[in-house]
Structure 1
Amino acid sequence: MRALFVMGLLSFCVLFSGVATAENGLLGEYFLGMRMADLRATRVDAQVNFEWGTGGPHPSLGPDNFSVCWTGFVTPTQSGEYTFFTATDDGARLWVNNVKLVDQWVDQGTTEVSGTATLTAGTAYPVRMEYFENGGGAVAKLLWEGPGQAKGPIPSTFLTPGKGLGDRYNNWIYNPANGHFYRLTAQMSWTAAKAQAEAWGGHLATVNDAAENMWIANTFRVAASDLFIGANDIAAEGAWVWDQNGVNFWNGAVAGTPVPGVYSNWNANEPNNAGENEDVGTILTSSGLWNDLPATAVRYAVVETETGRINYTGPDPMNASIVVGRRFQAKVVVNQPVNEVEYQWLKGGVEIPGANQATLTINDVGYVHSGLYSCRIKDGEIAEVTTAALKLTVVESLQVPAVTLPGLAGMAALFALAGALRGRKRGK
């Protein structure tokens, strides 16, 4: 070591957002924790063929306690039956063409599980693989075998990245089948969740068909075993309706009857109104079946909205003071857009010509640049939003805090430590 610099501790978190420029592969969303809640990084992985061992998959994650969701499309060049394999330590789930082929969501050493799908040449089929690592070694592999393909990792030339699903706890998730957006509340009572849904401009989920039902179950399974939906018979016992619109879909209890033409999916022997107070519905995420519970029970709830949503963070920084003549940058980050995103920065509500990137750059700051800046974000025809405003203050110079005697003493101690370590190194 030629020199030792003691500079104190700098703590930071970097969120790698947006998609890499690779044209082939699957989009990997990397989360802290095993429940896909704290999104730390996104990137395009050419293949899912990882043996991380006791290392981490990304600088923003450690070797344990993380999860990944890979999404995209696989396009075979020959028609026929294909076998897809996951080989993972720990758990994995796999869907091909929206059919679950693997459901092995358990702690385990490296284990291979497979399922089959019949594919047509030239057709792009959606693929989604979910993975979690609890502890010990970490392995995640997606393989296939089929017409003209020996068993092995799926080559990147057959893969196209998707847009990802996002943070299942904090983001609005887009359902391409019906164009609606869904989000989870925190854990709370059904009544509190109903109020939260309305505050967000939505409603507790109304399940209209089997496809939507299983999409909800599959998408939010990582959160809990069951989730509140908008089903309830609060107004009249046994007359089950959707909270959004009051549409009646079931009448009676266990021996009740469905309303013709309206979807329902009760579990066996449900709804049973156990304890004479089970007046709201939940969806079991393992199967998509429904159960009734008291409105005072505490669960995550699925909120639905028919209007577009944009998941974004920023502007970053929200407030800044900068010396005249310096360079200033601020940025916004959009997660899981549906379309190509358009940006337009504004100062005091007025468009800034040419400022149409996610990052606003002012190369030679002058006093005229002081003011409030916001960004208008547009996700195609889905949604448009204007961020909160950041405050930029331009100053002649930054004030350096006065150095106190305790501060000088601390600096002296750091320099003494540096000298001692340097001397120890030379004495070896």
Structure 2
Amino acid sequence: MMRKYFIMGILMCIFGLASGGRATAQTEGLLGEYYGTVNMTELRATRIDSQVFFDWQNGSPLSGLGMDYFSICWTGFVTPVESGIYTFYLTSDDGVRLWLDETMVVNQWKGQSPTEYSASLTLEAGQPCPIRIDYYENTGGAVIKLEWEGPGQTRSAIAAEYLTPGAGIGDRLLYWHRNPHNLHYYKMIGPMTWAAGKAQAEAMGGYLTTINDAAEGQWLAELFRPVSDAAFIGANDIAEEGTWVWDQTGETFWNGLADGTPVPGFYTNWNSGEPNDSSDEDVATIYLTSGLWNDLNVARERYCIVESDIGQLNYDGPSPARTTLQLEDAYEVTVTPRQPVGVVQYQWYKDNTPISGGTLAKLIVFQVSYEDAGLYTCQITDETPATVRTRAAELIVVKKLPALSVTGLACLATLLAVTAAMRKRA
């Protein structure tokens, strides 16, 4: 019997145009990534904000996000119409960081009442300048406002027409992150011991990071600083005390304690008085607040930074993760790659067998039968080249779904009403 698989990506675009839906992405404003924690993890939503000029007071920025303990990252570009020196103003309650043209110019990651900071930069007319804002809200009022002034521009919130959305950065713990300078991929895992981090990094196809220069160290610190103050790196002197090597290559880069010497050609960034081996400390951490290194005992637990030389793909889904359908219903399952490079290719599998025609992001099985029950995965490939096989989505097929009785419907309505009332009280 011919399987009734169909891919809806193209038809969805057509139907979107026919129904008057927006077929193209919004091109003005900044991309906002909204997280359910103060450290840029648990990504809850993304949206284009026409301006960054908010005073939520004691409210929430959006549905699904609490009034307190959240963070937001805005990325994109600002493009002036006249050349000259522009001053950017940030008013924040609580913590905030600002990057202009890939350089951090404001670093005030702390609890505070509404406080103003500023930085100036020379901009060229018509030339997009990268901009990024990291913000977190602790408790109490929540304020974040971005303004500018410059040639022909009085101080005001930056209008959407001068802003272009960026690609975003993504969850600092959930996703791999691509360093634009060396094109390597990095991910933070843990907390765990250095040995456990090493084993997990290797299982992921990577290694505990090797820091080759100041630019790499700074990039790592700025990216992962919201998550933790420190993280394990690949540096260690486990094999021979005082001979510090990088775990991935085994190359020696430092000899001795704090008064030791670097090996010519290798980068080091030890904190003052380090390494000191004060408590049998044989592995290294990077302070993400400063980029400096410190030695630590192998039994301690910290976050770990994993590095990969090969391409890595992030994705959401498959969604839904588990579905129960009755015979002859239609089954839909979708994957969404995050920040892929170039053209993306898909291949769906059922129970590890390739599905003919299953080559787009959404798979639909019309009129399911018992034979369609099983585990569905998707292999995603981009042009880095990187390939990932997703986790499995489960389809369960039954003869007929049980119908809710009148009593059951009444109980469900009561449960929903109680849940809504509790949310309002919260």
1:192 matches 2:196? yes
**2:187 alignment counterpart:** 183
Question: Which aligned pairs between 1:26-425 and structure 2 lie closer than 5 A?
Answer: 26-275=30-279, 277-347=280-350, 349-353=353-357, 355-362=358-365, 364-367=366-369, 370-372=372-374, 373-400=376-403
Q: 1:22 aligns with which of 18, 22, 26?
A: 26
1:146-196: CA deviations, max 9, x gaps?
223222222222222222111112221221211111111211221221122
Q: 1:58, CA displacement in angstroms?
A: 1.3
SS in 1 for 2:190: coil
In the alignment, what sits opposite 2:4? none
Q: Distance in 2 between matches of 1:56 and 1:413?
A: 28
Which stretch has the larger CA shift, 235-244 or 150-159?
150-159
In the TM superposition, structure 1's runs of 4+ consecutive aligned residues that sit over 6 Å from their partners are 412-415
**Shift of residue 350, structure 1, vs aligned partner:** 3.1
Counterpart-to-counterpart distance in 2, 1:386 and 1:97: 36
- CA displacement at 1:393 relative to structure 2: 4.5
Q: Match of 1:294, as an amino acid?
A: N
The alpha-carbon deviation at position 280 of structure 1 amounts to 1.4
Task: Flag the 1:105–1:409 CA change in 2: closer, same or farther, 3 A.
Answer: closer
State the secondary structure of the residue aligned to 1:185. Answer: strand
TM-score (norm 1): 0.83
Partner amino acid, structure 2, of 1:279: D
Where does structure 2 lack aligned partners over 5 or more consecutive residues?
A: 1-22, 418-426
- How far is 1:221 from its partner? 0.4
Q: 1: CA distance between counterparts of 2:137 and 2:58?
A: 11
Rounded Cα–Cα distance in structure 1 between residues aligned with 2:59 and 2:114:
16
After TM superposition, the structure 1 stretch with the greater mean CA deviation from structure 2, 185-194 or 120-129, is 120-129
- 8 A Cα contact 2:254 2:262, kept in partner: yes
Q: Is the 8 A contact 1:20 1:43 kept in 2?
A: no
Per-residue deviation, residues 219-243 of structure 1 (Å, max 9, x unmatched): 0101221111111112222221111
8 Å CA contact retained: 1:163, 1:337: no
Identity level (%): 48
Structure 1 residues 257 and 120: CA distance shift in structure 2, 3 A:
farther
| C-alpha separation in 2, matches of 1:77 and 1:22 | 20
Deviation of residue 31 (structure 1)? 0.4
> Aligned partners of 1:260, 1:242: CA distance in 2, in Å?
15
1:101-142 superposed Cα distances (whole Å, 9 cap, x missing partner): 111111122111111222333333322110011111211112
Q: Distance in 2 between matches of 1:366 and 1:188?
A: 44
1:341–1:135 CA distance, 2 compared to 1 (3 A): farther
Gaps of 5+ in 1: 1-18, 419-428
Q: Which amino acid aligns with 1:295?
A: V
Task: State the alpha-carbon separation in 1 of the partners of residues 356 and 115 from structure 2.
Answer: 55
Q: Is the 8 A contact 1:66 1:132 kept in 2?
A: yes
Q: Distance in 2 between matches of 1:194 and 1:376?
A: 26
Deviation at 1:388, TM superposition (A): 4.0
* Cα distance in structure 2, aligned partners of 1:392 and 1:172: 29
Alpha-carbon distance in 1 for matches of 2:46, 2:235: 35
C-alpha deviation, 1:327, in angstroms: 3.2
382-391 or 282-291: bigger deviation: 382-391
Does the Cα contact within 8 Å between 2:331 and 2:368 map onto a contact in 1? no
